Amino acid sequence: MNRELKSVGKGVRKKDAMQLLLGKPAYVDDVTPSDCLVVKVLRSPHAHALIREIKTDVAEKVPGIAEIFTYKDVPQKRFTMAGQTYPEPSPYDRLILDQRVRFVGDAVAIVAGEDERAVDKALRLIKVQYDVLPAVLDFHEALDNEILVHPEENWKALCDVGADNKRNLCAQGMESDGDVDAVIEDCDITFTRTFHTKACHQAMMETFRTYTEIDPYGRLHVVSSTQIVFHARRILAHALDIPKSKIHVEKPRIGGGFGAKQTLIAEIYPAFVTWTTGRPAKMIYSRKECQTSGSPRHEMEVTVRIGANRDGTIRALDVHTLSNTGAFGEHGPTTVGLSGHKSIPLYTGELEAFRFAYDVVYTNVESAGAYRGYGATQGIFAVESVVNELADMLGMDPVDIRMKNMVREGQIMPAYYNEPASACALDKCMLRCAERFGWAEKYPVRRMPDGKIRAAGVAMAMQGSGISGVDVGSAAVKLNDDGFYVLRIGAADMGTGCDTILAQMTAECMDCSVDDVTVFGADSDASPYDSGSYASSTTYVTGRAVEKACLELKEKICAVAAEMLGCAASDLVFHGREVEKADGSASVSLADIATKSMCGNNIALEATSSHSSPISPPPFMAGMAEIELDPETGAVEVLNYTAVVDCGTAINPNLARIQTEGGLVQAIGMTLTENIRYDDRGHLTENSFLQYKLPTRLETGRLNVEFASSYEQSGPFGAKSIGEIVINTPAPALAHAIHRATGHWYRELPILPETIALDLARDAENGAAE
Amino acid sequence: MLTIDKYLRPATLEEAYEAAQKKNSVILGGMLWLRLGNRRIGTAIDLTGLVPDGIEDTGDTYRIGAYATLRTLETHEGLNILTDHAVRDSLCSIVGVQFRNLATAGGSIFGRFGFSDVVTTFLALGASVELYKTGTVTLEEFCTMGRVNDILTHIVLPKSPVTASYLAHRNAATDFPVLNTCAALCDGILTVTVGSRPLRAVPYRFPTDSGISAENIAETVAGQTVFASNTRASEDYRRHLCRVLVRRAVTDVLEKSAAKAAREVK
Amino acid sequence: MEITLTLNGKKRTASVSPDTMLFDFLRNHGCYSVKCGCETSACGLCTVLLDGKPVLSCSVLAVRADGHTVTTLEGLQEEASEFVGFIADQGAEQCGFCNPGFVMNTIALLREHPDPTDDEIRAYLAGNLCRCSGYEGQTRGIRAYLNAKKEGLL
């Protein structure tokens, strides 16, 4: 770009910021009527059971109860609730209600009533007799277990993902480049380590919620807190077995998503109630339901075999992932891929061979879904930890070993679909991170006067920018009265600020102020098609659609101006607030063009463009953590976290920084406090915020975020993505720092004070015994 | 969901007491834990106006009204100067300011919850409770009692000079404690309490003239206390923490006490 | 039961059930700023001022507000407007769902401690969870506001 940017690259306020900060009504429950049916779901107390008998007669008599639905009342075509492009890789394994319940919290009956009190009472009065079945609770035992989670004949996989419901297999695959075994055989050093990450929750502050009504045209109008209005329309059509033309989905402001709302969790229940009864209905998930019946991260066990030379050259990586999709397959076949595709290519530098194999299994626990990082988080924890251990074995500085082996700009990444690292500043990120963090001073282990230990750890990460060849982003830009623009999108701002950054791009393209751009979305009727906001796609994919649409609109504006000025459009230059003849002899203002467009005009001053990218350029980053560890209590305090990110051009540096800080803190939670445990009957212990401990502001440490940007030619203004990558480095960096402080490598998350303290106590005893 | 059939605001403690004798009646405190259960309450008895929400300085005691909030205790200057801020230290990690503005001293003490920070501290500080019918009993005795069908009106803290230290380990900053302890030295007697075992707090007393060390006290307390496992920690870890935290709290008290003595000599 | 309270400066008389929570009462009376993020008094989203003190409205019986003064963000627009722009300048509002509770408790903080340190800010607001921002942007915003005030820019 030779022109100086006016809007892109500026930390402008988010367009909705002041309204949100002042508490104005904006979310589903604020903007939809309260005078509607309250919908709740009776949930299974068993991990695996068949409903022998379900009696609703007494419950139906509760005053105020409108309808109670059981598995006998719902369509029998299976579908998936995963918000993915059709045909979805996730198997069609769900019914709205099923006679077989597959996890504690699975839906047994839908109750709709006039108020919450009546519905709660009815829920207590439904009598269910279950034939309790043995359950598969340990994902190590799922594959080829005689207990089948999905024995049904009408289960189907639309895509060839290696799924087989008769083996509890949701997906299976293997890919490789080079002869891993031969290279490892030839290496000076090789070892294998296994890592375990749990089904952490997105825990967005606004729980799942949906309002439904029949609109004046007899269509189902759905107002939902969703990242995916178009996928929601299709999924609801499949679930209800009605035409897609009968459904209209829109999202108001969303109280956080992080991927949770890339799966239809709440929508199908009120939608079914409204479609069946004709009455407006609303379902608001409780926090407990979010925890027990939501769409958390896939629990994974990642095994990494590494082959390296004594000089620190990493020559081979062999990664196997066992992923637990839980009772249903939403995002099962796809999340697992990232555990290899976003970890192995980090070491493209010297890598001679890799292998990545995986199994995704069904079990009788809560169904997993999409959570920021989407499998990359799990894989990067494993691979980065192994590299840190390798550096430790070799006595190398872990920054040096990375500088020696990391992927460099221009390299082809065989483990990343052979895509090129077309824009890659990972080396700059690492060096700058070390400088800003003070790696040289902080890496050495320091014992403080009070006995506590300070130590540091490092990790790096990558992600993608949209799903290559699949994601479609679209934008429609329209010129209005006085010359202001309306940008319509189908991407969903879930708080991240995509409305604003897309408006910044529009303003840049149309040479106007961000305030001159109004953003509308997302609405399945009114927005141009967009896959939705997930897979770190919006800036990169939809952003390009904005650029294309603006280009087209400029031509149309010039065409109208040409009529007004009586010249050829090719003689005109677009200057933002006016269109001028190239020779400077005459001009017409944008406001006048806008006025003209509404009077005797035949050219619509509106342009819609779609964009899809054949590649998914990875953002890169480096992260370093400093901790203070109390060797007696095992308590770990995060003192500092420094992250340097290459997201390409940061369209809005403020929002990119907050994205980074938010992701780091979520990951600090995943690493240190957010646990997931099931008892032997499949009940989740961490079913509330009393048990599932999100980090508070006392536990974040000081966060230092910087950008070391590359320029991605295929992205809008050189941008890549930021949303997901930021959650990937804290787990390995903190585990590394904890190893430095304790001598122990922790390979299961979260790393709890108890584990550390008892290990160190044992060490002390053994040391004393020796 | 919590359901309440009847809300009662009695005119006298006697009326409140009578209402409380009915099954399904509950005396309201801050309502923070009450709300969690799927409970059906017949009569919810609100003591507002019947028990104080302030702290009275009687000269030789602080007489804390049962409806004084944890935040009132936390920010009470006299109480904190008296206790070397052990009161504040034991309260400031409980969820958040908004929570502590609701939770009451009476509710915390009356519940004698195993996870309580308040009980651990007040037990070490030698507090008593005033019960409407039963009269005054020491908190220590109250902690050994079973279900009490009475109304707690006040918590009384003696104002005798004390050197105190409160410590806890939490897995997360504002979570329930995994283990907590308070050491308080008063009149040559060192009282050490251990709570969140996760059972109710228990006190131990050591005469300071015996010259035993913080290590020995910690070892003794850890050896004599019964611990158990729950979702937050194992019995083993709690015993381990008990040694560490008691040693640290006692050391802190002995150091502070020595410093105070040194100041007095000057 | 009939209760009378002062809500955002106006006397309101209403009929409530013995188990109606103040949170539900407030939303039913148009105070949509008040949000619920958990059922266990753990998130701080429902923070309102009861007689000027920040409390969790999800945990207070509406009847207990009888005769008292309740203030929600709807009633403190001006006081909030003084500093929330500084949060917006950081981009730290993010999804916004936790904002009303956070803003209400920040108002309480600033009334009680007009010149807090960063650590005092963190301690006072510890009961306000936020899943988007990582908190530091909120602290920076409050700090920027306090600095601007000190420099007489407000």
Q: What is the CATH number of domain A136-200+296-405?
A: 3.30.365.10
In order of their start, the domains of chain C are: 2-74 (3.10.20.30), 76-150 (1.10.150.120)
Write out the residue limits of the CATH 3.30.365.10 domain(s) in chain A: 17-24+467-611, 136-200+296-405
Q: Establish if B265 belongs to a structural domain.
A: no
Nearest-angstrom CA–CA distance, A194 and A298:
16
Nearest CB among C28, C88, C131 relative to A21 is that of C88
**Length reported for chain A:** 770
Q: Establish if B44 belongs to a structural domain.
A: no
Average pLDDT, chain A: 97
Nearest-angstrom CA–CA distance, A189 and A430:
25
Nearest-angstrom CA–CA distance, A306 and B193:
51
Nearest CB among A635, A696, A757 relative to B174 is that of A696
Q: Is B98 at the interface with chain A, CB within 8 A?
A: no
Nearest-angstrom CA–CA distance, A721 and A724:
8
Residue B36's pLDDT band, with cuts at 50, 70 and 90, is: confident
Q: Establish if B211 belongs to a structural domain.
A: yes
Is pLDDT at C33 greater than 70 in this prediction? yes
**Length reported for chain C:** 154
Query: Are residues B60 and B150 both part of a single domain?
Result: yes
pLDDT for B208: 85
Q: Which of A323-332, A718-727, B204-213, B244-253 has the lowest mean pLDDT?
A: B204-213
Q: In a 3-state reduction of DSSP, which class is residue A384?
A: helix
**Length reported for chain B:** 266
Question: In sequence order, what are the residues at sequence separation of 6 or more whose Cβ sits closer than 8 angstroms to the Cβ of residue A38?
Answer: A112, A113, A114, A115, A116, A118, A119, A281, A282, A283
Nearest-angstrom CA–CA distance, C99 and C86:
13
pLDDT for B39: 84
Is pLDDT at B210 greater than 90 in this prediction? no
Whether A22 and C131 lie within 8 Å, measured CB to CB? no
Which chain A residues contact residue B36 at CB under 8 A? 690
Question: In sequence order, what are the residues at sequence separation of 6 or more whose Cβ sits closer than 8 angstroms to the Cβ of residue A135?
Answer: A46, A47, A48, A147, A364, A682
Q: What angle do CA A28, A32, A38 make, to 5 degrees?
A: 90
Low-confidence ranges of chain A (pLDDT < 70): 1-3, 769-770
A17-24+467-611 classified as CATH 3.30.360.10: no
Residue ranges making up the domain that contains B13? 3-39
Whether C61 and B28 lie within 8 Å, measured CB to CB? yes
- Write out pLDDT tens, residues A159-208: 999 999 999 999 999 999 999 999 999 999 999 999 999 999 999 999 99
Nearest-angstrom CA–CA distance, A417 and A419:
5
Distance from CA of C137 to the nearest CA of B (A): 20
CATH number for the A32-135+202-292 domain, one of 3.90.1170.50, 3.40.50.1700, 3.20.20.70, 3.40.50.620?
Answer: 3.90.1170.50
Residue B34's pLDDT band, with cuts at 50, 70 and 90, is: confident
CA distances from A582 to A483, A557, A594, A670 (A): 21, 15, 21, 59
pLDDT for A716: 98
Q: Establish if B50 belongs to a structural domain.
A: no
Residue B199's pLDDT band, with cuts at 50, 70 and 90, is: very high
Write out the residue limits of the CATH 3.90.1170.50 domain(s) in chain A: 32-135+202-292
Structure tokens at A63: 């005053």
Is pLDDT at C154 greater than 90 in this prediction? no
Nearest CB among B7, B71, B173 relative to C18 is that of B7
Residues of A at the B interface (Cβ-Cβ below 8 Å)? 116-117, 120, 632-633, 635, 672-673, 677, 685, 690-691, 693, 695-696, 698-699, 752-754, 757-758, 761
Structure tokens at A605: 């001053």
- Write out pLDDT tens, residues B63-116: 999 999 999 999 999 999 999 999 999 999 999 999 999 999 999 999 999 999
| Site from A13, A14, A20, A699 to mutate, C interface, most C CB atoms within 10 angstroms | A20
pTM tops 0.95, yes or no: yes
Query: Are residues B172 and B127 both part of a single domain?
Result: no
Is pLDDT at B168 greater than 60 in this prediction? yes
- Tell me if ipTM is over 0.95: yes
Closest CA to A639 of A365, A370, A422, A448: A448
Could you tell me the CATH number of the domain that includes residue B167? 3.30.390.50
Structure tokens at A275: 């479609």
Is pLDDT at C104 greater than 70 in this prediction? yes
Task: Please say whether the beta carbons of B17 and B150 come within 8 A.
Answer: yes
